[in-house]
Amino acid sequence: MGSGENVRSIRSFATRTSVSIFILAGPVMAQQGQTPRLTLSAEQASNAASAEASGHPVPSQRNPRYRINRSDILSISFPITPEFNQPKVMVQPDGYITLQGAGSLYVQNLSVPEAVEAVKKAYSKTLHEPIVDIDLIDFQKPYFVVLGQVGKPGQYDLRYDMTVTEAVAVAGGFAATAKTQVFLYRRMATGWQEAKQLKLNDILHGKNVTEDAELHPGDMIFVPEKTITKVRKYIPYGVGTSVSTSPASYY
């Protein structure tokens, strides 16, 4: 069968199975010296399609870059044209910074490399192919939050690698009314939170130790009273979202 017949066969099959077209097209494009668009297995593609169809979030990328926040302080330098240097630039409450000779620039939620490209573009009419360096001078420190039935609920700095059981200990340990089956909430990039249920009593007694999750910056641990038993896997996240400590069951 020639390459043209291969392509026609794939297109015909695509009308019946839209997900598989990307998997099958990979080898054909590779033969033509092109890079395949996708290299997922059939199971991975099926899971991704199901997640998209159900409206559930796709897992966030591994080792994500820090995103610039309000009140962060940046140092912007121009090695070739130092007269444009700005040693300390604070990100304003609306997410903008003021550039010398280039006006305002929105940088909130950008990574540092993305901010560098944005500053280059802002100066493109003033400087020819500017070289720009940006350093974070002051930024939002990594943190985690522990709420519910613990000795000292609140927000704590995440200065080193820490597990959920260690975080509960830092927050004063379990209160007398606490249920040792706790919930770990993790923000997702798509505006959702992922909720994971952990049985810390088993972990503390040497069972299922590998399930003691490692904390990520921004994680929240909720230690409920003994009446709360279940929580949905994914819940919407937005400004003003709160967790009730009153007895309830979530499905």
- Residue-wise pLDDT for 124-165, tens only, equals 989 999 999 999 999 888 899 999 999 999 999 998 889 999
Whether residue 192 contacts residue 235, with contact meaning beta carbons closer than 8 Å, is answered with yes
Residue with tokens 């962060």: 72
- Looking at the structure, do residues 119 and 148 belong to the same domain, yes or no? no
Residue 66 maps to a domain: no
pLDDT tens string 63-113: 678 889 999 999 999 999 999 999 999 999 999 999 998 999 999 999 999
Contact status, residue 200 vs residue 124, Cβ threshold 8 Å? no
What pLDDT does residue 27 have?
A: 37
- For residues 30 and 88, give the distance between their C-alpha atoms in angstroms, rounded to a whole number: 49
CA dihedral of residues 145, 148, 151, 153 (deg, nearest 10): 30
CA distance linking residue 127 with residue 184, whole number of Å? 49
Q: Higher model confidence: residue 154 or residue 41?
A: 154
Q: What is the dihedral of CA 49, 50, 56, 57, to 10 degrees?
A: -30
Range of the domain at 191: 143-236
Judged by DSSP in three states, 244 sits in: coil
In this structure, are 15 and 37 located in the same domain? yes
242 domain residue, yes or no? no
* CB contact at 8 A, 89 and 68: no
Query: What CATH code is carried by the domain that includes residue 90?
Result: 3.30.1950.10
Tell me, yes or no, whether 87 and 120 share the same domain.
Answer: yes
Task: Tell me the C-alpha distance between 46 and 19, whole Å.
Answer: 7
- 251 domain-assigned: no
Specify whether 121 is located in the same domain as 188. Answer: no
* Residue 8 in domain: yes
Inside any domain, residue 200: yes
**Do 213 and 178 fall within a single domain?**
yes
Q: Residue 173 and residue 97: Cα distance in Å, rounded?
A: 42
CA 99 – CA 176 distance, rounded (Å): 55
Strands, DSSP E only, in 149-191?
154-157, 181-187
Q: Are residues 147 and 133 in the same domain?
A: no
The one-letter code for the residue type at 126 is T
- Domain-located, residue 22: yes
The answer to whether residues 158 and 230 belong to one domain is yes
Q: Provide the whole-model pTM.
A: 0.53
Q: Are residues 188 and 211 in the same domain?
A: yes
Do 125 and 180 sit in the same domain of this protein?
no
Within a domain: residue 203?
A: yes
- Does any domain span residue 250? no
* Cβ pair 82, 41 in contact under 8 A: no
Structural domain count of the chain = 3
Q: Which residue has the higher pLDDT, 12 or 139?
A: 139
Pair 9, 27 in one domain? yes
